[in-house]
Structure 1
Amino acid sequence: MDMSIVKQTGTKAVSIAVAGMILPLIVGVGISFSMSGKNENTNEISYILYIGIVLSVTSFPVLARMLAELKLINTELGKLALSTSLINDVCAWALLALAIALSEQNSSTWASVWVVASNMLFVAFCFFVVRPSVTWLIKRTPEGKQFSEFQICVVLVGVVISAFITDVIGTHSIFGAFVYGLVIPNGPLGAAIIEKLEDFVSGLLLPIFY
């Protein structure tokens, strides 16, 4: 993930992302609050939070695909939209992790805290351990030389492991894969992975998912 795009747009992207989330979140919380209490088996707090999140999120993969189709992805407007959506998605996944932690009917408060803390540790591990490791792997490969199949497989196995970890924690497997994707540095490795997987993902997985 090219995090430099977010740095280029600066505080503008953050401001738009926050402003774009607050109103839909308030509306979603208001609607869900009026509908809550009708099902005794539903955790009221997590239900209200979940509906608010759903209505306030702009999906990053969907927006990226739309911008690519419209050939706007490399424009200033496209970069700003991507940065805003990325920040929006990160906030949404953080709130979703909290909602899932609170949704466990039989769990104690400490169990919910454990889920949130575990997710924070996972994110920290990805940024402070996985990212430097991947950067070392990139530097270890001579410039101009292609990455081996083994190296790419190691990186892709990391996606599966990350998804498995967050699923075990109790969040969602997509959250793990999403965070792992954020820590992969933009450059030759990212380009090599896209080259290997783009047709398979765009032609098969995306239509199935959406």
Structure 2
Amino acid sequence: MPDLALLLAALAVLLTLARCFGWVFTRVRQPAVLGEITCGLVVGIALQAGPGLPGRVDTTLEALAQLGLVLFLFGVGAHLAPSMTAARITAAFVPALGATVVPVVLGALLALWLAARHAPAGVTPFVLFAAAAMAVTAFPVLARILAERRMLNDSRGRCALTAAAITDATAWTALAFVAASVHSGTQVWSLLGTLPFLLALLVLARPWSGRAMDRLSAPTAAVTMVAIACVGAAVTDSIGLHAAIGAFLIGAAIGRPASRHDPAALIAPVASLLVPLYFVLIGRKVDFGDLDTTLVAETFAIIVVAVLAKGGGAYLGARLAGQPPRPAAVFATLMNTRGVTELVFLSIGLGLGVIDSAFYTAMVVMALVTTAMTGPLLNHLERDKVTRDA
């Protein structure tokens, strides 16, 4: 069969399976991404048992998935930008501090223990990456959960979104440093590309850029957003950082000025089409052949530390900020959601060679477990509140 026919058939099968798996998981009140990752696990097992796909078809699928990732993180950055106002940051700073510092510290300690088995690029990049990965909160999944529960416009929802924006911005900054340290041999001339890139970020964040975008029709604005996201991704990829970092930063910059065109909404149709393919391919990279008694014990330790560090740190920060116990518990539960952002973060670390496939598998399991916990825990806290009010 010609490569083009195989590619189109593979796209049809993978996108359909991803949607079906995602729909099944939403029916049991779980995020669709859990179904998409499960789909990737099933597809990976099936491909390992069969002849697999030709190299050129597999490479093209990976490229389409990377485009989905770029547009997805552009949207995340655009969603994040409105939450980074001075008033919201001030109100959410102490809760965010607890949800960031405690996971980073405990994650670094855990990484020092794991580094002997899982640090292919050296101890320092591995520890920095693992510490940052422990602090991640899934901003898009969190926003979806808050919208479904009609919490976006109340004080709890705003605090959680802003705190997630602060912690994720910190984690992505740390990831940029890790990527730079791994690619220390990058040509000096390519690093000069950061200067016009940073200048472009400042220009896009100015109010007049929003007014200029208002003059465009919706289709033209959508094409412009996609082009800007791809340029930002190409710049950071060319200087040795990951393409996703550039897309995220461009999205955060262009989401700041007010405009009648919502950047995230404009590219949502394309991103929602391609990003499930990315998560299917993430699931395919999970290799349960690495599982042994030691890795199972390490996975369990990672889950325990992740929940205690993120949930405990967020709860402590919320209590120090003056929140009552139950709202603080709700905040901690929301901040413990890792979801898609964690999975993207991990796949970048694997691509950079900072972590090995065994640690990647353990962290993916942690991300799925902590994301699956969110809904049941929130339901329990809501039932507890109703019981006490009665």
Both structures adopt the same fold (TM-score exceeding 0.5): yes
CA spacing shift, 1:74–1:116, aligned 2, 3 Å: farther
Q: Which moved more, 1:60-69 or 1:154-163?
A: 60-69
Is the CA contact 1:147–1:189 (under 8 Å) kept in the aligned structure 2?
A: no
CA spacing shift, 1:73–1:126, aligned 2, 3 Å: farther
Larger radius of gyration: 2
Q: Answer yes or no: is 1:58 the counterpart of 2:133.
A: no
Q: How many residue pairs were aligned?
A: 197
SS of equivalent residue, structure 1 residue 189: coil
Match of 2:96 in 1: 17
Provide the aligned C-alpha RMSD in A: 3.0
Segments of structure 1 that go 5 or more residues without pairing to the other structure are none
1:160 Cα shift? 0.8
Segments of structure 2 that go 5 or more residues without pairing to the other structure are 1-77, 280-339, 341-390
Match of 1:134 in 2: 209
1:1-210 pair list within 5 angstroms: 1=78, 3-7=81-85, 8-38=87-117, 41-104=120-183, 107=184, 111=186, 121=195, 124-132=198-206, 134-138=209-213, 141=215, 147-184=217-254, 185-190=257-262, 194=265, 196-202=266-272, 204-208=273-277, 209=279, 210=340
1:168 Cα shift? 1.3
1:57 Cα shift? 1.1
Residue type of the alignment partner of 1:92:
A
Is the CA contact 2:230–2:247 (under 8 Å) kept in the aligned structure 1?
A: yes
Is the CA contact 1:24–1:52 (under 8 Å) kept in the aligned structure 2?
A: yes
Which structure carries more relative contact order (alpha carbon 8 Å, separation 6+)? 2
Q: How far, CA to CA, are the matches of 1:43 and 1:161 in structure 2?
A: 31
Q: How far, CA to CA, are the matches of 1:114 and 1:38 in structure 2?
A: 36
1:16 Cα shift? 1.8
Q: How far, CA to CA, are the matches of 1:177 and 1:115 in structure 2?
A: 18
Is the CA contact 1:118–1:169 (under 8 Å) kept in the aligned structure 2?
A: yes
Given the two structures, how large is their TM-score scaled by the length of structure 1?
0.78
1:118 Cα shift? 6.1
